[in-house]
Structure 1
Amino acid sequence: MIVRDMESAAAAGRKIVSPDGNWDSTRLLLKDDNMGFSFHITTIYEGADFGMHYQNHLESVYCMSGEGEVETVADGKKYPIKPGTIYILDKHDKHILRAFKEMKMACVFNPPLHGKEVHNKEGAYELTAEAVTD
């Protein structure tokens, strides 16, 4: 059994802050935990407005608090995000996330992250354990 809390995960180096200042992510479950997915609690800071394109991962995102929207780049459709909303990037959707009020999100990635990843220049996470900061 694995038991972790936010404070011990952060103290163990599992809290990552984005270089662009849009978010932080406490990675509670990672590839080395051998569960086949990773689980993170991510804070999207108020005013954040940034694109992502997870070409190497599928992601599900559940909003626990805050308010914002996610926009799919392919069709420009905007979806409101509020507590109780989940969005699922099941087709490697290129998207823009906006936080009108700070949002706390529970995120699941498949394949699992190694732990130090940040978005590359295309808004994706690499499949390696090293952080990418292009």
Structure 2
Amino acid sequence: MKIVRVEDIKGTEREVEGPGWTSRRLLLKKDGMGFSFHETIIPAGAELHLWYKYHLEAVYCVEGDGEIVDLDTDETHKIENGTLYALDKNDRHILRGGKKDMRLICAFNPPVTGRETHDADGAYNLVEEE
């Protein structure tokens, strides 16, 4: 059994920041669950161009507001508390923070190792080794 508390992750190597986001990695590849699990904070007004070419991602909003734009269809969807979106086709997208910071709970498959960084396309490279 694994017990992980977000407060214990803050300020450690499992809390990773980039332009317009902070990710707290609760479960990583080395935890052996077959997926990784994160709490991600998107500040109000942030705009991220993302394309997880090598990962599927499910995201559940538990606080705040924003929107996601599907770059293949140009559809825009509102995100608020209680909204889930799933990037089930490695969807290219823009994630925008709204008027309040968004707190998102995210699962990645395959799991991330925690060492990934966004490339020029906004993707995490597929890291095989720990």
Q: Does TM, scored on the shorter chain, surpass 0.5? A: yes
Q: CA deviation at 1:129?
A: 6.9
Q: How does 1:1-134 map to 2 (within 5 A)?
A: 1-18=1-18, 20=19, 22-100=20-98, 101-128=100-127
User: What CA distance in whole angstroms lies between the structure 1 residues aligned with 2:85 and 2:22?
Assistant: 19
User: What CA distance in whole angstroms lies between the structure 1 residues aligned with 2:48 and 2:4?
Assistant: 30
Deviates more, 1:66-75 or 1:111-120: 111-120
User: What CA distance in whole angstroms lies between the structure 2 residues aligned with 1:63 and 1:88?
Assistant: 12
Q: CA deviation at 1:117?
A: 1.8
Partner AA of 1:104 in structure 2: R
Name the SS for the 1:81 alignment partner: strand
Q: CA deviation at 1:12?
A: 3.6
TM-score, L = length of structure 1: 0.91
Q: CA deviation at 1:10?
A: 2.5
The percent of aligned pairs where both chains have the same amino acid is: 45
Q: Which runs of 4+ in 1 moved over 6 A?
A: none
User: What CA distance in whole angstroms lies between the structure 1 residues aligned with 2:11 and 2:27?
Assistant: 14
RMSD: 1.3
User: What CA distance in whole angstroms lies between the structure 2 residues aligned with 1:81 and 1:127?
Assistant: 27
Q: CA deviation at 1:11?
A: 4.2
Structure 1 portions without partners, runs of 5+: none
User: What CA distance in whole angstroms lies between the structure 1 residues aligned with 2:128 and 2:65?
Assistant: 31
